[in-house]
Amino acid sequence: MVITGTVGKVGLIGHPVGHSKSPEIWNDAFENQEIPYIYLPFDVSTGDLGSAVSGLKSLGFRGFNVTIPHKVSVMNFLDEIEEEAVEIGAVNTVINDGGRLIGTNTDGEGYIQSLQSETGLTLAGQHIVLLGAGGAARAVGTALAKAGAAQITIANRTMDKAEALASRLQRWTRTNAILLEQIASPLQDASLLVQTTSVGMSPNKEACPIDPELLHSDLLVSDLIYHPRQTRLLKEAKIRGARVHSGLGMLVHQAALAYQRWIGKDAPIKQMMETLDQSLK
Ligand code: ATR
């Protein structure tokens, strides 16, 4: 695409951003759809966050994504925070609405759309074990609780973080907090296991957050990690007859929801999925 003065601009702020697959996914989608926009990544240190946000506004960016470590602190520099972002306690997408910066969060809803479209699962009534209690668990846990899960057991290495998330989600569903090593019994009764920790992420591909022997064929095992696409946990789940869902779709669906907000059109989800798949090979 030839860049002219009229090209629309969106982007990403984080630290680091060098590994991010988003620029590739977004710019391919714009090119494919003939949308005159570009997506640019910016490595922004914590001390520069406020000036970077006002700079993007001054430069006429239509919006930007926010990633680690700015998802919480960016809220200090926005004019409005939508309910989803307040509930999750973090912003991953900012919309510049004529100079007014609106923060939202598409991670939770993106996850639910990916899970439902790829597995056909109905969330109402599910007994869920959620591994981890960090930022990703908060986004996904909030969305699962609001989607009608019957029970969410939060299993984490650190108990106080599990307890904090359990009490956050209590307003929507039944929750309880346990340590990772207490997972055997709740997992026996669960229908969905959602893995949100960094255990098993490349390059530590052989790591598994739980004893694989605890996995069983009545489970759907969903791992938020997308690199590698098949984590050790998903491989072990498959061996035991469980259904599996990878984190690749969440990355695409959260982007697709931002695309809709910024561009006002449906994103080319299938093509974005293919771009991501190719870039991970
Ligand atoms: P993210 O935003 O990706 O969720 P985070 O907020 O730093 O990142 O949360 C990381 C999660 O992975 C936490 O639940 C963390 O457990 P603690 O709360 O005990 O720190 C979990 N985690 C990271 N490394 C882990 C490990 N080696 N074993 C078990 N859990 C781990």
Q: Which residues are annotated as a binding site?
A: 20-22, 67, 83, 92, 107, 132-136, 156-161, 224, 226, 247, 254
Q: Is residue 239 part of a domain?
A: yes
Q: Give me ligand 1 centre to Cα 264, in Å.
A: 35
Distances (CA, A) of 235 to 111, 116, 168, 199: 20, 21, 32, 14
The per-residue b/e assignment along 143-177, b for 16 or more CB within 10 angstroms, e otherwise, is: bbbbbebebbbbbbeebebbbebbebbeebbebeb
Question: What is this structure's pTM?
Answer: 0.96
Instruction: Verify that 112 and 83 share a domain, yes or no.
Output: no
Give the pLDDT of residue 1. 77
Test site for ligand 1: of 67, 88, 157, 159, most ligand atoms within 8 A of the Cβ? 157
Q: Which residues pair with 186 in a beta bridge?
A: none
SS3 assignment for 9-57: EEEEEECCCCCCCHHHHHHHHHHHHCCCEEEEEEECCHHHHHHHHHHHH
Nearest CA to ligand 1 atom 18: 158
- Cβ(231)–Cβ(260) under 8 Å? no
Pair 125, 82 in one domain? no
Q: Domain range for residue 205?
A: 108-246
pLDDT tens-digit readout, 153-191: 999 999 999 999 999 999 999 999 999 999 999 999 999
Closest approach atom of ligand 1 to CA 133? 14
Same domain, 132 and 30: no
Pick from 189, 246, 195: nearest CA to 218: 189
Q: Are residues 266 and 215 both part of a single domain?
A: no
For residues 222-226, give the mean pLDDT.
97
CATH number at residue 189: 3.40.50.720
Question: What is the pLDDT averaged over residues 141-151?
Answer: 97
Span 74-103, mean pLDDT? 98
Given this model, what pLDDT does residue 7 score?
Answer: 97
- Is the pLDDT assigned to residue 214 strictly greater than 80? yes
According to the model, what pLDDT value does residue 281 have? 86
pLDDT value at 130 more than 90: yes
Q: How many C-beta atoms lie closer than 10 Å to residue 132's C-beta?
A: 26
**What was the pLDDT predicted at 2?**
82
* pLDDT given at position 134: 97
* For range 4-24, the mean pLDDT: 96
Ligand 1 within 6 A of CB of 198:
yes
Regarding whether 155 and 242 lie in a shared domain, the answer is yes
